[in-house]
Every structure is written in structure tokens, then in C-alpha cells.
Amino acid sequence: MDQRGRQKQLACLATLLLASACGDGNAADERGIGAQCTGNDQCNVDLQQVCLPFKGGYCGEMGCTKDADCVPDSACIRHTDGVNYCFRTCADKAECNANRDPVNEANCSANVDFVDGAMGRKACVPPSG
């Protein structure tokens, strides 16, 4: 292979690596935090996700003690069951529904108990089930 062919091959490889690392840029969505579910088996149990009892379910990562325990684009929330979970954070409702169908839409709400303080933040929360 000549020099030009090697350069072309390296350029293609670099493009593929960059494209695979990009995703949609939202770590919480890529991890499935906030996704709808009907049981724990539909959440990533290897990441300690459980299906919380909201309308359409809600995959939350269990056991955080602070925001730093959660991936970017999520925060540690004290849930009404007394356990902390990583919930998807948001600025508006549209961000909450990448992994939910229209019947089970979540809302972007400030009415949650952020473990590290609200600081003007909001989290995705579907209606009660």
C-alpha cells in the first residue's frame, strides 16, 4: 500500500473511532436512566438499575449518596421509598422522553429531592403509576 493509501486508511479509522464515541452526547440516555420499563429485567441490572413504580415505569440507578455517584446528565434523588436513585436531569420536557413512548411521557420537574441540593435544577419524573 502506498503512502496515500495508508493516509486514507488512517483517516477512515479516525473517523470511525470519533463517530462511535459521539453517540447523542447524553450519558444518562445512553445508560437508560429514565427509560420506561415494566420490570427490573428491562433496566440494566448490572448497573444496579431498578424499575421504579411510575406510570410506564422508570429505570433509576439505585444506591447513590451524591451526584458524583451518577453519570453526567443525571443526579442523585431521594425517592419517596427512602432510597436514593440517579434520575435523568433536564431543562425541559423534551429531554425526558428519548427512551419513553408518548403514552408514558415524563415531565421535567423541580419538585424532587436532590441529595446535593436543587441549585435550580430539574429532573425527569413521569406521573405516578
Q: What is the pLDDT of residue 14?
A: 31
86 domain-assigned: yes
| Sign of the CA dihedral running 67, 69, 74, 75 | negative
Domain that holds residue 105: 27-125
Q: Is residue 12 in a domain?
A: no
Q: Which residue has the higher pLDDT, 76 or 127?
A: 76
> Has residue 22 been placed in a domain?
no
pTM for the model: 0.79
CA distance 105 to 94: 9
21 pLDDT above the threshold of 90: no
87: in domain: yes
Question: How do residues 107-126 score in pLDDT, each as one tens digit?
Answer: 999 999 999 999 999 999 99
Residue 19 lies inside a defined structural domain of this protein:
no
Distance in angstroms (rounded) separating the CA atoms of residues 40 and 60:
10
pLDDT, position 49: 96
DSSP 8-class letter at 127: P
Q: Do 89 and 28 touch, CB atoms closer than 8 A?
A: yes
Is 21 inside a domain boundary? no
Instruction: Quote the CA–CA distance of 84 and 90 in Å, as a whole number.
Output: 18
Q: Is residue 14 part of a domain?
A: no
Q: What is the helix, strand, coil percentage profile of the chain, to 5?
A: 35, 25, 45
pLDDT band at 1, cuts 50/70/90? low
Asked if the structure places residue 89 within a domain, the reply is yes
Give the total number of structural domains in the chain.
1
Among 10-24, 84-98, 105-119, which stretch is predicted with the lowest mean pLDDT?
A: 10-24
